[in-house]
Amino acid sequence: MILRICSTLVTRCVSARRRFDERGQTTAEYALVLVGAAAVAVLLLTWATSSGRIGWLLDKMVDTIANMVN
């Protein structure tokens, strides 16, 4: 009887620990994806700013809206 109770407790502790470990792994994977996405965004913004594309895009948007209003 005591052996059975101990066995059940050990099994539950091990399964709870596995769930906790997997949650930590998932969190780390999300963090890595966010770091990667931020790196790509920084590279894209750096390229767009240095090439003058942002200014061109904003000018084009304002011109388009102004033409729609007139």
Question: Higher pLDDT residue, 7 or 30?
Answer: 30
Report whether pLDDT(8) > 80: no
pLDDT band at 65 (very low <50, low <70, confident <90, very high): very high
Question: Higher pLDDT residue, 57 or 25?
Answer: 57
- What's the confidence (pLDDT) of residue 67? 92
d(CA 49, CA 43): 10
3-state secondary structure (DSSP) of residue 70: coil
pTM of this prediction exceeds 0.85: no
- CA angle at 48 for the pair 46 and 54, rounded to the nearest 5°: 130
The secondary structure of residue 42, as a DSSP letter, is H
pLDDT band at 54 (very low <50, low <70, confident <90, very high): confident
